[in-house]
Amino acid sequence: MKPILIADSIAKSFGARRVLTSATLRAVPGELRVLLGRNGVGKSTLLKIAAGWLSSDSGAIHFNGRVHASASLPELASAGLFYLPDHDLLSTAFSIRRQLEMIRLQFDGSDIGAAASQLGIAAHLDKRPFELSGGEKRRAELAAVLVRRPICLLADEPYRGLAPKDAEDLTATFAGLAAGGMAVVVTGHEVQTLLSAADHVSWCTSGTTYDLGPPAVALKSHAFRQEYLGSPGLG
Amino acid sequence: MGIVLLSVGVSLLETHLRRERAFLGNLGVRPLVIGLLFAAPALIGELAIRAGGTVFR
């Protein structure tokens, strides 16, 4: 299927440090894509640029049939993108219910109760995010995704601070969203969990990206195994 | 106009400190709109004071 989002030939430097030279990220409807790479190689930077959260030095964002030379998150979000940042998404100032209600009203979203029940946070709807555990917060953020029903979801290191069981559940939710037709891209280091559910693997290294294909194919890449996985036991 | 600019500055600082920019971004709300929302009460107050000053001079 055709990508709904392409962050094409992205370059980005922070001062004298060149993080990305020519990196490309694609999100394809119905696919869970994982972007893997060592710390500091620019995965989060690429995802932020693709979401319009950060500007690039060069390259372009193609989203839902339009080219955005200088994309911003509000602009892309209005067109159907949802970005889960590598820090807490929800505001501490309002209850989960209030924030989900804002999303529902803004985008004519789906039922809050149903989304909360699906993710097991119905009992926490009237709490504020700081009253929740890490796993509950991630589920509340995913409830925001379910209410919003975006066409594309970019999730930056969503597994931070999660217990293995919560990480598994989170991955299953991502896979479910992709199976429902959403284009999902996730970064993280939870290799086994991610590879077990991913449809496609991209590898970010040395300022660029390589589309390695399905996990079974990616695991045959000697360079990927050698330089990223570092463990001959995987796969 | 100082109070209006201060209101805009404080609003942007507050959304930054509360890390609400991503949430607002996902809602499709631009920083300019947030600034305007915070500036409006200050601007109305400023105009009311000036108008009052003119009337009751």
Per-residue pLDDT of A87-112, as tens digits, reads 889 999 899 999 999 999 999 999 99
The pLDDT tens digits for A48-62 are 999 999 999 999 999
Mean pLDDT for all residues in chain A: 94
Are A53 and B28 in contact (CB < 8 Å)? no
Question: Taking CB atoms and an 8 Å cutoff, what residues of chain B touch A129?
Answer: none
Distance from CA of B39 to the nearest CA of A (A): 20
* Lookup result for tokens 């694609």: A26
Residue A234: pLDDT band by 50, 70, 90 thresholds?
low
- Please tell me the distance from the alpha carbon of residue A25 to that of residue A182, in angstroms, as a whole number: 16
Q: Contact B25/A144, CB-based, under 8 Å?
A: no
Using DSSP bridges, classify how beta strands A66-68 and A152-155 pair: parallel, antiparallel or unpaired: unpaired
Residue of A53, A92, A102 lying closest to B25 (CB–CB): A53
Q: Tell me the percentage of chain A whose pLDDT exceeds 70.
A: 98
Please state which of the ranges A47-61, A100-114, A173-187, B12-26 shows the lowest mean pLDDT: B12-26
Please give the pLDDT value at position A235: 46
Predicted TM-score (pTM) of this structure: 0.90
ipTM score here?
0.90
Tens-place pLDDT, residues A193-225 = 999 999 999 999 999 999 999 999 999 999 999
Question: How close is the nearest chain A Cα to the Cα of B9, in Å?
Answer: 19
Q: Are A43 and A204 in contact (CB under 8 A)?
A: yes
Give the three-class secondary structure for A217: helix
